[in-house]
Structure 1
Amino acid sequence: MDKFTQILQASLGNIQPDPEKKYGIERLKALGATNFEGTKDPADAKVLMNQVEKCFGVMRCPENIKLSLATFLLQKQAEDWWKLLKNRRGDQEEVCWEEFRKAFFERFYPRSFRDMKQDKFLQLMQGNMTVAEYKLKYTTLSKYALNIIVDEKERCRSFESGLR
């Protein structure tokens, strides 16, 4: 039995993982990435991109594969946007991941939306909310003001200034 186990382990050691499966759409989706059709809520685009990038990290996905995997997830309106963007570029050099990411955010997670959320954060007051409700709203909106509340001391000061 011991000899059989050694032979089995040796043969398993010679099996090379299939790169199609290692970096395939099935693995990406198994890790939690979902299709994206476009949305009325720009926060959904940010959630999608965060999830895709987390999946890429777990997969240790090479830069040259990220674009094809991410664009495969685009459906309906989002896919139409991507096709139009590629068509406008014509036969220019291939789009890299960072260019795609930037264009995706410009279209689906615009600066105007982030600025509006940052303004809501800056104007946030407890008002009629309980402290727990205020804390939840504060935490939710604070991601839009990371450049303002750069350290724990500033976060605490900002939080306290909004309390009744």
Structure 2
Amino acid sequence: MFEGGADPMVADDYLDQVESHLTSMDVMDDHLKIILATYKFSKDAKLWWKLVTNQHKVEDMSCDMFRELFYEKYFLITKRWELRKQFDDLIQGNMLVTKYENNFTFLSRFVPEILRNEVDKTRKFVFGLHYQMRSLITSQYFKVYTEAVERALMLEAEANDRNA
């Protein structure tokens, strides 16, 4: 169920879940996708959707248009910009690699263009690592994100073993 509300992460999670279900059910038709996505709307979301259907010809609406309208209402652009800035500013600092990678993964979904290019994604991750670890990883020039993450975890484990 999606009731609406002020928490943009709840809205984004709802849309992600719906898209995942529709993909697994192999639903291809945009109109059917929108019907299924709005079927579980209640309270504020149901009222909002009634207003949308009065203003737009829903039968011809694309999923991209639906997402745009949905985000306009429940995931304001200022919040998306804020999350993007957090991603742009993300560095490991004193975080464990696992925590840094979790934050990186969470925030990267708000910067879809970085996800489309494996090399750019890997480079952004590596250059956010602590400088000592970064220098060891950049010397090997990883192009695959998971390989860079794995190497960073290995280096962190080695450092912990040395310190123990």
TM-score range, shorter chain: 0.5 to 0.7
C-alpha deviation, 1:49, in angstroms = 1.6
Q: Is the CA contact (8 Å cut-off) linking 1:66 and 1:97 kept in structure 2?
A: no
> Is residue 2:22 matched to residue 1:43?
no
> Is residue 2:69 matched to residue 1:103?
yes
Looking at structure 2, the residues matched to 49 and 125 of structure 1 have their Cα atoms a distance apart, in angstroms, of: 28
Looking at structure 2, the residues matched to 102 and 161 of structure 1 have their Cα atoms a distance apart, in angstroms, of: 32
C-alpha deviation, 1:97, in angstroms = 4.5
Match of 2:92 in 1: 126
* Aligned amino acid, residue 65 of structure 1: L
Which structure dedicates a bigger proportion of its chain to helix? 2
* Aligned amino acid, residue 25 of structure 2: M
> Residues 66, 117 of structure 1: CA spacing in aligned structure 2 closer, same or farther, 3 A cutoff?
same
Q: Deviations over 1:34-68 (max 9, x none)?
A: x1001332122222122222222333434443333
Q: Deviations over 1:55-95 (max 9, x none)?
A: 223334344433333222111111121122233x2xx6444
Match of 1:85 in 2: 52
> Residues 163, 59 of structure 1: CA spacing in aligned structure 2 closer, same or farther, 3 A cutoff?
closer
Greater C-alpha Rg: 1
Aligned-residue RMSD, C-alpha: 2.3
What are the residue-to-residue correspondences of 1:1-164 with 2, within 5 Å? Answer: 35-61=1-27, 62-87=29-54, 89=55, 93-95=57-59, 96-98=61-63, 99-148=65-114, 150-164=116-130
Q: Which ranges in structure 1 are unaligned for 5 or more consecutive residues? A: 1-34
Looking at structure 1, the residues matched to 112 and 36 of structure 2 have their Cα atoms a distance apart, in angstroms, of: 29
Q: Which ranges in structure 2 are unaligned for 5 or more consecutive residues? A: 131-164
Looking at structure 1, the residues matched to 67 and 116 of structure 2 have their Cα atoms a distance apart, in angstroms, of: 24
> Residues 139, 69 of structure 1: CA spacing in aligned structure 2 closer, same or farther, 3 A cutoff?
closer
Q: SS at the partner of 2:113?
A: coil
Looking at structure 1, the residues matched to 53 and 36 of structure 2 have their Cα atoms a distance apart, in angstroms, of: 16
C-alpha deviation, 1:149, in angstroms = 5.8
TM-score when scaled to structure 2?
0.65
Q: Deviations over 1:88-117 (max 9, x none)?
A: x2xx64443533333112211232222211
Q: Percent identical across equivalent pairs?
A: 34
Aligned residues: 127
